[in-house]
Structure 1
Amino acid sequence: MNFHVFQDGVLSGEIPLGQLAIKAVQRHADWYALDDRYFDLVEVNRVFSILSLMRHTSGDYGGKPFTLLPWQSWAIAQIFGWRWKANDKRIIRKAYVEVAKKNGKTELAAAIGLLMAFFDGEFGAEVYTAANKLEQAKICWGSAAAMTRFLKRDSQSFDKMIELHDSFNNSKIFSRAHNAKFIPIASDSKTLDGLRPNCAIIDEFHESTDDSVLRNLESGMVNRSQPLLFIITTAGFNINGACYQYRKVVCDIVDGKAQDDSTFGLVFTLDEGDDWNDPANRYKANPSIGVTPTHEAMEIAYQRAINEGQSSEVNFKTKNLNIWVRQAKTWIQDHLWMTCAKPLDKEALRGRTCFGAFDLSSNRDLTAWGLLFPPDEEGGDFVFTCRYFAPRENAEIRARRDRVPYMDWEKEGYLELTEGNITDQARIYDTVLEDAEFYQIDSIYYDRWQSTKLATELLDAGARVTPFAQTVTQFNEPIRMIEELVATGKFNHGGDPVLRWMCGNVAMKYWNGLCKFDKDKSREKIDGMVVLAMCFAGYLNWLAQHGESVYNDRDMFML
């Protein structure tokens, strides 16, 4: 199989891919000039021969020979062909492939699993398809089981060698002669203990709630001489999740910003600035288009996105164009929110009138303290700055467990980690007083539910503190104003990454035409957004009382 046709077409520009995919192809083309490795064409042809014995398992191609598409043959060749001269072992041990849905990724993963279980020369091979839930893991394994049935039917020797169990509580493909097995597993820690995979497959990694599956499988591979962790996925909605964080590492490797020869990365997606409406860009995310999906099916999906509006549009971009987009039910879409990420000079805000608010955590997680600065000239932007606090012990746990980048935010100066495992209200009190020396704080709003102690201390220090009831009647007008300012570009949050994350977490509650943030249904922390709304409540209350510029003379909280 001439996989060089794909490589040559990409590098010549004849095959129109995005920059991430082009860089991946160029990276491995450059390996031919390196003296410490070689490309084993004999092994690659052996792999191709074995895969050709398998059959597709569903759809129009069900039962037909498993014919690799050009991009698939190129990826297989890189993963199985490159070897170190020093020990003849495979170089690639981890592969991350990201491509739009319906491009044959699951059956490709299933075929690789069978290859690694029974045709890689590894006695005692252990191959696993893994996911957070067993049902998800069984999707890829189910394709492998269907392929196994065809192999057993087509080959008498394979039929004798391989046993297949496919029932509710016993899903296993195994060979007694080779002590090899291929089974699906879920992320339960007890299930993962003691595994020694020579190959692990994570299908649709974007659905994983954390990276525990990946890390456990990686650690189990340490005693294998040439294991393979194969991750294949479509883009998702959670840019702070385990998949996207891993993707960033892979993209840095492909881009040459990081070095790891053991990792293969291939991401098919549009480039920044590409028009998602242009059919010419669809190939960038769909290297199998014309075969699967068909051009007709893609056009039908596109028309549905156009006709049905925002939710369908987001789904089309994510699933059919492999673009990471915030969740379909996001309150404000990320691309719109980021148009308000403008340069922010805090020194220029010195002495300006502002409205403050804080939202205390329940002792163990994030607390937010924010300030909203109305425009000081007609047509100017509302500026919002926010500071976040969290107990260090809890932040470290969440960073490891949930892949929330708390430690990165600390390094970047957005998050202050206090010692211990409970919220340090004294530090927040000191911060408010520090800001009062720098800005003219008109008022400070707070949630009376668990902030009374701090509010009382600030009142004693001379602050004008006001309780805020987090109801639809109180939230509605501030939220509507935020929506309008973001939509018109009259808001500036300075690109705050914590606030960006929180904005993407927001779930809304609607009642009789009114709205509020719904903390219970929001999938993660939204404290900064709550503080932003309370700051706007303070500003709107000012306007209601005075009906004039906030820069007219008035007593302010300054020290």
Structure 2
Amino acid sequence: MSLPTWIFDGSEIDDPFGYGQRAVDFLRILRHPKSRLAGRAFELPEWQERIVRRIYGPCHSNGRRIVRNVIILLPRGNRKTSLGAALGLLHTIGPERLNGGQANIAAADRKQARIAYEEAVGIVRADKRIASKMGFQSYKNRLSHPKSGAVLEALSADAGTQHGRTPTFALVDELHAWKKRELWDVIRTGLVKVPGSLLVVITTAGRGQENIAFDTIDYARKVARGEIDDPATLPILFETPADANWRDEEVWHRVNPGLANGFPDIEGLRQLAREAENKPADREAFRQLHLNVWLDHSADPFVEMAIYDEGAEAIDEADLENEPCWIAVDASLTTDLTAIVASFPDGDDSHRVMAWFFVPEENLRARADRDGVPYPRWAEEGRIIPTPGNVIDYRAVEQFIRELCVRFEVREIAFDPAYARQISVPLAEDGYPVVEMRQGWRTMAPAIAELERVIIGRRFRHDGNPVLRWCFDNVAVEIDKAGNKSFHKGKSKDRIDGAVAAAMAVARATEGDSGRSVYADADARPEGLLVF
């Protein structure tokens, strides 16, 4: 379990210039409309106070704050929004204020951004002495301090371009819910324009790995473990291992520091846990939002992604040259993702697997925003192959397969004929070993069962290709009355092409290499498995 032990151990926090103390003093003079303390004083429990001291106290010898990026992973109900809004005010009307400074509260959408903004406004209005000196532009989600020109403004990632901003402070709220990264990039690049700027990310756990939040939290984890030396980044990660007992209240208390102060409501958590006993979807939500377990993308995954990840190893394509392999192609609609997967049987019932993906080059950034994955970065890394134009150039896919057949000893090239005839027919006419493998349940159910057997048996070896992993993470499984499994997308926009092609390739390789038919239990050989 990842926990920031320094929050609770009473250790001394460096504060040579007293900046940590003055930040705490400022927060303690604030009021909150929902506070239970006398005079509605802002509630700052000891664990939050130590976070504030750790952010603002340690400094370089010239007085410059050491911390520039704070990554806080905290379960729902621990008053993240109140703390974040108060820090925003610290940089707008408090001792961290700069004349003309811009403090931003950024969220995934307008509604969430408005919540954080109204939290700050509520704190200001709770003290008439402060409110009388402030300007309120509610229609712009902007709070200003006219005397200094400092402003606090709420922004949302779905509100279009925000270029030209130069924030001195930015609170990024619930980063796990951000689908696009444009505002994130604007904030990050804007912060470096100002000396002493501060980024604070406060979020609960999310799902999947191909998103901004996972990248950010994973970087913070590496800093926390000492794998990356970055004193400017402060990781504060309250998270629970995936295999922890989610029913154990001791686990709840360790990962929810606010429980010691009465929030979130323990009885409320107990009720949610009781309901989750017999509701798998509620159980996953409880683990994600209240225990900060980072979940797989699919709510009904094909295999545990932790097991899938065990198969990641370095694979040198040069070592596979002239090795027998079975190739499968899942050709998509012309505007989506097309996958090629090659399976190389290893002799010990294992499969080394390589994958290649094609997408249209035009509007690659827009496609990335639509699917919520970094297509441009994957293209730069060579993980996907963009083809010219706004549709996939099937001729480029065909040529790539021909090149694979030169490099490897290709025994079969399996196609679902639904979308692939433009590729498969020219190859078949030229004598390539093309087979047709329709994606009906009679064909795919045994193939999926074989793929599952190989992965769970730790015999599925891959090179950690993030696009292939994303496809597997998107898979939702449906089981019919006979126990046959089929692949479906978790959501309409999800791509599972790589997982489908992997099932086809592994099944054909198993039968072709060992002679063991994965269809032995079927009533008959699957329809559509024909050589052209």
Distance 1:390 1:286 in 2: 44
Q: Corresponding residue for 2:425?
A: 456
Confirm or deny: 8 A CA contact 2:253 2:260 kept in the other structure.
no
Distance 2:228 2:406 in 1: 40
Give secondary structure in 2 for the equivalent of 1:117. coil
- Percent identity between the aligned chains? 22
Opposite residue 128 of structure 1, the aligned amino acid is: N
Structure 2 CA distance for partners of 1:50 and 1:544, relative to 1, 3 Å: closer
Structure 2 CA distance for partners of 1:100 and 1:148, relative to 1, 3 Å: same
Structure 2 residue 102 is matched with structure 1 residue 126: yes
Q: Corresponding residue for 1:13?
A: none
Q: In the TM superposition, what whole-angstrom CA distance separates every residue of 1:511-549 from its partner, at most 9, and x where no partner exists? A: 88876444694544322112123336657898489899x
Distance 1:201 1:219 in 2: 14
CA apart distance, 1:81: 1.4
Structure 2 CA distance for partners of 1:387 and 1:494, relative to 1, 3 Å: closer
Give secondary structure in 2 for the equivalent of 1:195. coil
TM-score by length of 2: 0.80
Q: Corresponding residue for 1:489?
A: 457
Q: Corresponding residue for 1:139?
A: 115
Opposite residue 150 of structure 1, the aligned amino acid is: A
Which blocks of at least 5 consecutive residues in structure 2 are unaligned? 523-530
Structure 2 CA distance for partners of 1:150 and 1:106, relative to 1, 3 Å: same
Q: Corresponding residue for 1:49?
A: 25
- Equivalences, count: 508
Q: Corresponding residue for 1:332?
A: 302
Confirm or deny: 8 A CA contact 2:74 2:80 kept in the other structure.
yes
Map 1:197-346 onto structure 2 (within 5 A).
197-271=167-241, 274-291=244-261, 292-309=263-280, 311-327=281-297, 329-335=299-305, 337-338=307-308, 341=311
Q: In the TM superposition, what whole-angstrom CA distance separates every residue of 1:61-83 from its partner, at most 9, and x where no partner exists? A: 89842221222111101111122
Structure 2 CA distance for partners of 1:59 and 1:303, relative to 1, 3 Å: farther
Q: In the TM superposition, what whole-angstrom CA distance separates every residue of 1:336-388 from its partner, at most 9, and x where no partner exists? A: 64276277989999999764311245667754322456796xxx746361321
Give secondary structure in 1 for the equivalent of 2:257. coil
Confirm or deny: 8 A CA contact 1:340 1:494 kept in the other structure.
no
Give secondary structure in 2 for the equivalent of 1:261. coil
Distance 2:270 2:489 in 1: 38
**Match for 1:193 among 149, 152, 163?**
163
Q: In the TM superposition, what whole-angstrom CA distance separates every residue of 1:106-151 from its partner, at most 9, and x where no partner exists? A: 1100111111111124122322211231112112112112212212
Map 1:28-67 onto structure 2 (within 5 A).
39-41=16-18, 43-58=19-34, 64-67=40-43
Give secondary structure in 2 for the equivalent of 1:357. strand
Structure 2 CA distance for partners of 1:328 and 1:62, relative to 1, 3 Å: farther
Give the CA RMSD over aligned residues. 4.2
Distance 2:360 2:248 in 1: 47
Which blocks of at least 5 consecutive residues in structure 1 are unaligned? 1-17, 33-37, 549-556
CA apart distance, 1:272: 7.0
Give secondary structure in 2 for the equivalent of 1:240. coil
Q: Corresponding residue for 1:92?
A: 67
CA apart distance, 1:208: 0.5
Distance 2:334 2:374 in 1: 18
Q: Corresponding residue for 1:78?
A: 54
Confirm or deny: 8 A CA contact 1:20 1:254 kept in the other structure.
no
Distance 1:116 1:545 in 2: 66
**Match for 1:164 among 126, 129, 136?**
136
Distance 2:256 2:158 in 1: 34
Q: In the TM superposition, what whole-angstrom CA distance separates every residue of 1:3-24 from its partner, at most 9, and x where no partner exists? A: xxxxxxxxxxxxxxx4452489
Map 1:347-386 onto structure 2 (within 5 A).
355-360=326-331, 366-372=337-343, 381=349, 383=351, 385-386=353-354
CA apart distance, 1:484: 6.0
Distance 2:196 2:450 in 1: 57
Structure 2 CA distance for partners of 1:397 and 1:20, relative to 1, 3 Å: farther
CA apart distance, 1:177: 2.0
Opposite residue 184 of structure 2, the aligned amino acid is: L
Confirm or deny: 8 A CA contact 2:210 2:373 kept in the other structure.
yes
Opposite residue 69 of structure 1, the aligned amino acid is: P
Give secondary structure in 1 for the equivalent of 2:77. coil
Larger deviation, residues 246-255 vs 469-478: 469-478
Give secondary structure in 2 for the equivalent of 1:288. helix
TM-score by length of 1: 0.76
Structure 2 CA distance for partners of 1:62 and 1:266, relative to 1, 3 Å: farther
Larger deviation, residues 381-390 vs 72-81: 381-390
Structure 2 CA distance for partners of 1:545 and 1:534, relative to 1, 3 Å: closer
Give secondary structure in 2 for the equivalent of 1:307. coil
